[in-house]
């Protein structure tokens, strides 16, 4: 057996450095020709990206005892609550972030923004406003906030206007519907936060804060975000109509005020509805409406509301600089296997292993052929079918053989067309008498 | 045939109460009433005769028969006679007997709040019902003719069967002066909401809950609120948020609450500029939907009237209830997707349910 030998290149030397076993194939400074086939895998450009991928996936799984994530001691022992800025210890405070150069960079940056809000980084967002409606409620997102707070050993205070049960025994639950006034509510929240350095305060319906007596949103914000330097997350149901008749006409509507105060606004959308909207947009059709807006009397909730596959988050982050960044994310429901085992006795869950929120564009379903199929189906006005052919019991298509046979058929009046070109004979009728034809003498006599 | 078997098999998983304490929402429209559905919930809670079920081991749902549920039924638009007849006809339930057994309590939000005393000369309070209805507000006085008992039975809400009451029929329990006077002392207690204020509502319903719990046995309580949105219309001082807080307050003493709210476009769609009552009606419905873990909404067929279909029932679950159950359960996929069933309520009160396209006679 003989192989053709070709001269050795720099890349071949690189191959031999990484794979010493291949040295036996080398003869002098010549290598077998099949080396050319594997050179591409060792090309410097390919190599660097590949190694960076492996490096990233190695460090991506957070260690169980990560100090970045886990707060071993969250007790507050007096003293001033100082806001920690993100730039602690860095000299380069005037560091200006450049626009991301590649798509990968952009996505990493976008996921980082969301992860820092979800992961309750203190400098990220003091007041997160969550907008939801019946088609996609905020509960999966709130649960995610609480899982991460439990995982990070952050104290959770849950101010509820909509539930009688505490979501978890280790959550401080305040049933605010139970005859509380503004002052007593603020007092209870303060009591719950007092002994902890870091707290997460969740309000499951912000509407009532505006309806409550002697209560103002600003007071709660000042207490939680400013005085206690903790995080506030509030839910606003977009499908509840603001009552314009009872309020002072000169005060802004609640939602405007909340949007003004918020440092991050997250809008929750059902994944199924986002897919449907995408399919409609791709065909320049009007965006479909769901649930109460559907216009059918008696429909409250959409059949595919609250998609169990995950939740789409349409987020706007207001940075300290005043710049707003927007992004769309996909958050799947978290699983027990996403977290390490608990570190402390009594703790429910350990450190988060790996961030699993992704940008929506990274979602395989969102970018898949199935959705493109839906787009085509919508074009045919035939939702459900995935091809361009109308479904019926008849076979309307043609096989290749049938197409070829069709091409060979000679149409009858080619003869007339031929003679048309010759002089003076246009409009001649060519007719061959058939055996069954009955020639009528009198037909031409008018 | 037990009352439990009156629930169509397709509906059974949806009338079964969730294991955790929760709020369920039932909505209806004018053309598609949800009373039959409420009766099926009553059947689910009260219809399992445990002794019978132990003997006849059909093996379908043996373990769940153990769950003992007491029911407090609060109705603002229908009276006791209506529910009694409907339950007997559609569900095969003897509500009178269940009431005596303290498994059921009925709170009447209609008779004493809105109707004139049907029997004059009865030692009632000096205040006429119309005055009570107006509450503390004294809005535009209604024509005095309305207070006259001769006019009222005709102008009552639809579906009321009170016209028969003066006669010696089975439905006399309310109107009969003897049973009227036996409130809180006879063997069967009656509970009334006398004015559209949250204070009265709370005290009447709490009394009823205490009554069914006074048997001493540990059991779950299902509170059925039929059209509480009536309160929003009758007293402008009651806001959506106050009423939903009241529902949660009552939830403290009960394990499950079933709220029935009409969802007609006329009641909840907002005009421009929006009227307070529209805003409140819309907000209460949406608020209840946000709070509930399961929504069952009845509506008429989208394609128009059909002889063999009464309406469409849409059932949606809000799976991610407000508990963190990460380490206990892995999620179970698409089972929680919403579902639509067609139903046919027959003249004899029985109900047939079928999937779309399956045809009525399966």
pLDDT, tens digit, for every residue of B65-113?
456 789 999 999 998 999 999 999 988 889 999 998 889 999 998 888 8
- Share the mean pLDDT of chain B: 76
Q: What is the domain count for chain B?
A: 1
Which tokens hold the place of A202?
Answer: 């969740």
Q: Is the peptide bond before B273 cis (omega within 30 degrees of 0)?
A: yes
Are A137 and B319 within 8 A, CB to CB?
A: no
Comparing A332-341, A405-414, B88-97, the range with the smallest average pLDDT is A405-414
User: Which domain, by its residues, includes B256?
Assistant: 3-299
What mean pLDDT do residues A420-438 have?
Answer: 67
* Strand, coil or helix: B78: coil
**Residue B110 pLDDT:** 87
Query: For residue B126, what are its two tokens?
Result: 């000096």
CA distance B214 to A281: 60
From B282, B314, B336, residue closest to A241, measured CB to CB: B282
Predicted confidence (pLDDT) at residue A22 exceeds the cutoff of 50 = yes
User: Minimal CA–CA distance to A15: which of A58, A46, A53?
Assistant: A46
Mean pLDDT of A249-261: 88
C-alpha distances (whole Å) from A278 to each of A201, A378, B360 are: 35, 11, 37
CB-closest option in B28, B239, B338 to A301:
B338
State residue A445's pLDDT score: 58
Nearest CA in chain B to A335: B326
Mutate to test the interface with A, among B241, B296, B334, B340 (most CBs of A within 10 A): B241
- Residues A161-187: what's their mean pLDDT? 89
B209: left (phi over 0), alpha (psi -120 to 50) or beta: alpha
A422-436, B193-207, B228-242, range with the lowest pLDDT? A422-436
Distance CA B104, CA B88 (A): 14
pLDDT for the residue numbered A56: 47
Residue of A181, A297, A307 to mutate for B, most B C-beta atoms under 10 A: A297
How many CA within 13 A on the CB side of residue A436?
0
> Which pLDDT does position A233 carry in this prediction?
95
Cβ–Cβ below 8 Å for B327 and A336: yes
Hey, is the C-beta of B356 within 8 angstroms of any chain A C-beta? Answer: no
Q: Is residue B226 domain-resident?
A: yes
Average pLDDT, chain A: 80
Give the DSSP H or E segment for B351: strand B351-354
**Does residue B170 fall inside a structural domain?**
yes
User: What number of other Cβ atoms are within 10 A of residue A25's Cβ?
Assistant: 14
pLDDT tens-digit readout, B242-252: 999 999 999 99
DSSP string, A134-161: TTB-SHHHHHHHHHHHHHHT-EEEEEES
- Examine residue B358 and state whether it is found in any structural domain, yes or no: no
Residues of B within 8 A of A165 (CB-CB) are 20-21, 322-323
Q: Is residue B306 part of a domain?
A: no
Per-residue pLDDT band at B219 (split at 50, 70, 90)? confident
Predicted local distance difference test score (pLDDT) of residue A9: 82
Give the residues across from B306 on adjacent strands: B309
SS3 A129: strand
Cβ of B299 within 8 Å of Cβ of A168? The answer is no
For residue B120, give the CATH number of its domain: 3.40.50.300
Calculate what percentage of chain A has a pLDDT beyond 90: 24
B253, B292, B324, best to mutate vs chain A, most A CBs in 10 Å: B324
pLDDT in tens, A66-115: 878 888 888 888 877 876 555 444 445 455 566 777 888 888 999 999 99
Query: If you measure CA to CA, which chain B residue comes closest to A293?
Result: B269
How far from chain centre, in Å, is Cα A298? 31
Q: Which residues of B touch A211 (CB under 8 A)?
A: 239, 241
> How many Cβ pairs closer than 8 A exist between chain A and B?
163
Give the range among A13-27, A72-86, A155-169, A388-402 with minimum mean pLDDT.
A388-402
Within-domain flag for B144: yes
**A150–chain B Cβ distance below 8 A for any pair:** yes
Q: Are strands B311-317 and B104-108 parallel, antiparallel or unpaired?
A: unpaired
Q: Specify if B128 maps to a domain.
A: yes
- Chain A partners within 8 Å of B251 (Cβ): 164
Check residue B175 and give its pLDDT: 38
Does residue B251 belong to the interface with chain A, where contact is any CB pair within 8 Å? yes
Order of strands, sheet of A172-175, starting from the edge strand that comes earlier in the sequence: A172-175, A155-160, A199-203, A231-237, A127-132, A264-270, A311-318, A324-331, A358-359
Which of A69, A120, A144, A116 is closest to A343 using CA atoms?
A69
B176 compared with A102, residue with greater pLDDT: A102
B302 touches A at CB < 8 Å: yes
- Set out the domains of chain A in order of their start, with CATH numbers: 5-60 (no CATH), 103-240+250-379 (3.40.50.300)
Q: Are A162 and B265 in contact (CB < 8 Å)?
A: no
- Looking at mean pLDDT, say which of A79-88, A194-203, A379-388, B271-280 comes out highest: A194-203
Residue B260: the pLDDT is 96
Q: Specify if B329 maps to a domain.
A: no
Q: Chain B residues with CB inside 8 Å of A244's CB?
A: 273-274, 279
Domain for residue B323, yes or no?
no
Please give the pLDDT value at position B151.
36
pLDDT higher than threshold 80 for residue B335: no
Cβ–Cβ gap B264/A207 under 8 Å: no
């Amino acid at each position: 057996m003989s192989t053709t030998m070709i001269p050795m290149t720099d890349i071949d030397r690189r191959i031999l450095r990484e794979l010493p076993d291949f040295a036996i194939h080398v003869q002098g400074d010549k290598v077998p020709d099949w080396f050319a086939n594997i050179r591409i895998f060792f090309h410097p450009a390919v190599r660097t990206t590949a190694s960076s991928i492996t490096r990233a996936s190695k460090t991506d799984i957070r260690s169980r005892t990560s100090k970045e994530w886990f707060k071993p001691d969250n007790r507050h022992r007096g003293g001033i609550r100082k806001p920690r800025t993100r730039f602690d210890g860095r000299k380069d405070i005037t560091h200006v972030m450049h626009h991301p150069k590649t798509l990968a960079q952009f996505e990493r940056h976008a996921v980082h923004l969301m992860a820092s809000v979800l992961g309750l980084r203190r400098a990220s967002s003091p007041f997160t406003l969550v907008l939801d409606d019946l088609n996609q409620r905020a509960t999966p997102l709130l649960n995610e906030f609480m899982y991460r707070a439990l995982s990070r050993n952050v104290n959770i205070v849950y101010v509820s206007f909509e539930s009688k049960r505490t979501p978890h025994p280790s959550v401080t639950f305040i049933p605010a519907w139970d005859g509380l006034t503004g002052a007593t509510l603020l007092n209870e929240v303060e009591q719950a936060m007092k002994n902890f350095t870091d707290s997460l305060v969740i309000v499951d319906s912000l509407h009532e804060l505006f309806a409550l007596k002697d209560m103002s949103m600003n007071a709660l914000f000042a207490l939680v975000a400013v005085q206690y330097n903790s995080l506030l997350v509030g839910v606003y149901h977009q499908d509840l109509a603001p009552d314009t008749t009872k309020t002072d006409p000169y005060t802004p509507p609640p939602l405007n005020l909340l949007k003004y105060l918020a440092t991050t606004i997250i809008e929750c959308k059902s994944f199924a509805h986002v897919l449907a909207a995408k399919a409609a947009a791709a065909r320049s059709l009007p965006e479909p409406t769901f649930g109460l807006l559907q216009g059918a009397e008696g429909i409250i909730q959409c059949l595919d509301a609250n998609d169990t596959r995950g939740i789409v988050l349409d987020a706007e982050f207001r940075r300290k600089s005043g710049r707003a960044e927007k992004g769309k994310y996909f958050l799947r429901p978290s699983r027990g296997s996403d977290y390490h085992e608990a570190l402390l006795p009594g703790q429910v869950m350990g450190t988060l292993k790996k961030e699993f929120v992704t940008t929506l564009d990274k979602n395989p379903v969102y970018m898949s052929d199935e959705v493109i199929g839906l787009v085509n189906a919508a074009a045919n006005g035939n939702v459900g079918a995935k091809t361009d052919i109308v479904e019926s019991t008849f076979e309307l298509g043609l096989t290749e053989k049938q197409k070829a046979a069709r091409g060979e058929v000679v149409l009858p009046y080619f003869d007339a067309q031929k003679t048309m070109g010759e002089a003076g004979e246009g409009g001649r009728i060519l007719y061959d008498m058939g055996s069954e034809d009955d020639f009528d003498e009198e037909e031409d006599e008018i | 045939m037990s009352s439990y078997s009156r629930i169509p098999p397709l509906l059974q998983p949806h009338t079964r109460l969730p294991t955790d304490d929760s709020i369920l929402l039932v909505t209806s429209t004018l053309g598609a009433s949800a009373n039959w559905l409420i009766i099926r919930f009553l059947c689910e809670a009260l219809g399992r005769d445990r002794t019978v079920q132990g003997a006849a081991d059909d093996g379908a749902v043996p373990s769940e028969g153990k769950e003992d549920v007491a029911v407090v039924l609060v109705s603002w638009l229908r009276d006791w006679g209506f529910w009694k007849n409907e339950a007997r006809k559609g569900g095969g339930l003897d509500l009178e007997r269940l009431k005596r057994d303290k498994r059921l309590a009925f709170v009447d939000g209609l008779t004493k709040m809105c109707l004139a005393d049907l029997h004059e000369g009865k030692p009632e309070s000096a205040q006429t019902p119309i005055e009570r209805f107006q509450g503390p507000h004294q809005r535009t006085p209604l024509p005095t003719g309305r207070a006259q008992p001769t006019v009222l039975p005709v102008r009552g809400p639809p579906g009321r069967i009170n016209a028969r009451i003066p006669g010696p029929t089975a439905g006399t329990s309310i109107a009969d002066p003897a049973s009227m006077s036996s409130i809180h002392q006879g063997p069967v207690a009656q509970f009334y909401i006398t004015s559209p204020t949250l204070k009265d509502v709370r005290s009447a319903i709490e009394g009823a809950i205490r009554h069914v719990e006074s048997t001493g046995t540990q059991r779950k309580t299902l509170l059925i609120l039929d059209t509480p949105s009536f309160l929003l219309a009758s007293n402008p001082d009651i806001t959506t948020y106050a009423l939903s807080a009241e529902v949660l307050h009552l939830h403290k003493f009960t394990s499950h609450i079933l709220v029935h709210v009409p969802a007609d476009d006329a009641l909840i769609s907002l005009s421009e500029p929006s009227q307070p009552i529209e805003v409140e009606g819309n907000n209460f419905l949406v608020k209840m939907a946000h709070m509930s873990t399961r929504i069952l909404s009845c509506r008429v067929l989208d394609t128009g009237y059909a002889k063999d279909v009464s309406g469409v029932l849409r059932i949606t679950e809000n799976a991610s209830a407000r508990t963190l159950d990460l380490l206990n359960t892995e999620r179970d996929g698409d089972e929680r997707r919403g579902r639509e069933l067609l139903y046919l309520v027959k003249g004899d009160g029985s109900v047939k349910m079928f999937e779309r396209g399956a045809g009525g006679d399966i």
